[in-house]
Amino acid sequence: MADDYEKGVFELVRAPLEPAALQARVAHPSCGACACFTGSTREQNRGQRVVRLEYEAFEKMTGPEMERIFERCRAEQPAARLRMLVAHRIGVVEVGEPSVVVAVASPHRAEAFAACRFLIDELKRTLPVWKKEIYADGAHWIGDRS
Amino acid sequence: MDLSLQLFAALRERAGRPELRLSGLAEGLTVEDLKRALERAHPELGSLAHVAVVVGTSYARAGQKIGPGDELALLPPVSGG
Taking only the tens place, the pLDDT of each residue in B30-79 is 999 999 999 999 999 999 999 999 999 999 999 999 999 999 999 999 99
CATH classification of the domain holding A9: 3.90.1170.40
Q: Which residue range is the domain that position B68 belongs to?
A: 3-75
Give this prediction's pTM.
0.95
How many separate domains does chain A show?
1
Tell whether B80 is covered by a domain: no
Is A100 in Cβ contact with B80 (below 8 Å)? yes
CB contact under 8 A, A146 and B50: yes
Give a yes or no: residue A146 inside a domain: no
- Residue A65's domain spans which residues? 4-141
- A61-89 pLDDT tens trace: 999 999 999 999 999 999 999 999 999 99
| Chain A residues inside the 8 Å CB shell of B48 | 146
How many Cβ atoms sit within 10 Å of the Cβ of residue B26? 9
Q: Determine the pLDDT at residue A84.
A: 98
- Decide if B76 touches A, using CB distance below 8 A: yes
Inter-chain contact A146–B48, Cβ cutoff 8 Å? yes
Mean pLDDT of A104-114: 98
Mean pLDDT across the stretch A112-126? 98
ipTM field: 0.95
